[in-house]
Amino acid sequence: MRWIKKGLIFAPDNNFGWMVSHASIPIADEIRDNRLRIYFGTRDKQGRSLPAYIEVEADNPQNILYMHHKPILPLGKLGTFDDDGVMPSWIVNHNDSKYLYYIGWNRQVTVPYRLAIGLAISKDGGNSYHKYSEGPICDRALDEPYFNTTPCVLVKQNAWRMWYASCTKWEIIDERPEPLYHVRYAESVDGIHWIKSGRVCIDYDDFTDAIACPCVYLENGVYKMFYSYRSATGYRTDAQRSYRLGYAESVDGINWVRKDDEVGIDRSESGWDCEMMEYCYIYEHKGKKYLLYNGNGFGKSGFGYAILDEG
């Protein structure tokens, strides 16, 4: 693979009181011919995450056609899993409804935050979304005591499959707690009630201490996954240890082979994505594949795109 970078699409800059900075984890939904809606998580003045979207030309996403003027979902009630943040992670179109899987988070005391997976559903074509429940659909449990986050969901007929990041521990590094997480697998018959298999799809290695935001698609009978990975040490300040994109393949969606050298894209020498590349999403339009991704600062510098070179 070889991806051709096309540049930055959008970076918030005090657009609204609730959209002060960050455009994290962009995901796309083609709402009509050549019109793409890109959902993302932004931050308000208090650093809380809220879900937003812009609409762009699908084959030229730097042409922004519309910016929604208010968050599409509210923060959760005080004490619930998403009372400090709601961040879109994946969208599924199924039976005339849109299933928006999101990351809910709130602040903690001994560690900075706790993450869980929530679901919102739209039955009017995405004009409005309503949370399925006040509680998460996937959360820490007996064999996952820390957190679940960044789900990717594919559905074929009544078989729902999820790949998600599962935290396995926190470590004190440079006098602050840092999370370690890898990618696991779950299944469902309705997209709401999930059975976690415990299967690890993408695991740690000598460099990798965190793997997040799996983006999976099926092509010619092969499951392909893009994801973000980094070290646990120095990743906030050292670009060589920070987020970059990885790639893996599978014949069944469960057993994966990492092929990071084949990802076909890397950080730039300078600019908005020179320190980090993370939180990617792939969509196809008129036979071309487009890669949305975040750059520096976990989405603070916004998101841009690249096109797969098919030549």
Look at residue 21 in the predicted model and tell me its pLDDT: 97
Q: How confident is the model at residue 174 (pLDDT cuts 50, 70, 90)?
A: very high
Look at residue 42 in the predicted model and tell me its pLDDT: 98
For tokens 């429940």, name the residue: 133
In sequence order, what are the residues at sequence separation of 6 or more whose Cβ sits closer than 8 angstroms to the Cβ of residue 180? 167, 168, 169, 170, 171, 204, 209, 210, 232
- Strand locations in 11-158, DSSP E? 21-32, 35-43, 49-57, 60-67, 85-94, 97-107, 113-122, 130-131, 148-156
Q: How confident is the model at residue 310 (pLDDT cuts 50, 70, 90)?
A: confident
The rounded distance, in Å, linking the Cα atoms of 228 and 124 is: 33
Asked if the model's pLDDT at residue 279 lies above 80, the reply is yes
The rounded distance, in Å, linking the Cα atoms of 237 and 242 is: 8
Calculate mean pLDDT across residues 102-119: 98
Look at residue 11 in the predicted model and tell me its pLDDT: 97
Asked if the model's pLDDT at residue 228 lies above 80, the reply is yes
DSSP designation for 233:
S
Look at residue 183 in the predicted model and tell me its pLDDT: 98
Pairing of strands 148-156, 21-32: unpaired
Asked if the model's pLDDT at residue 296 lies above 80, the reply is yes
Asked if the model's pLDDT at residue 158 lies above 90, the reply is no
Scored b (16 or more CB within 10 A) or e, 200-227 reads: bbbebeeebbbbbbbbbeeeeeebbbbb
Task: Please name the residue ranges forming H helices in the chain.
Answer: none
> What percent of the chain has pLDDT above 70?
100
In sequence order, what are the residues at sequence separation of 6 or more whose Cβ sits closer than 8 angstroms to the Cβ of residue 270? none
Asked if the model's pLDDT at residue 311 lies above 90, the reply is no
DSSP designation for 74:
P
Each residue of 5-36: pLDDT tens digit? 999 999 999 999 999 999 999 999 999 999 99
Q: What is the pTM of this model?
A: 0.97
Asked if the model's pLDDT at residue 40 lies above 80, the reply is yes
| Cα three-residue angle 263-220-258, rounded to 5 degrees | 30
Asked if the model's pLDDT at residue 241 lies above 90, the reply is yes
Each residue of 56-75: pLDDT tens digit? 999 999 999 999 999 999 99
Write out the two tokens for 110: 């001994």
Instruction: For residue 174, give the amino acid letter.
Output: D
Q: What is the mean pLDDT of the chain?
A: 97
The rounded distance, in Å, linking the Cα atoms of 31 and 229 is: 30
The rounded distance, in Å, linking the Cα atoms of 165 and 88 is: 14
Calculate mean pLDDT across residues 217-239: 96
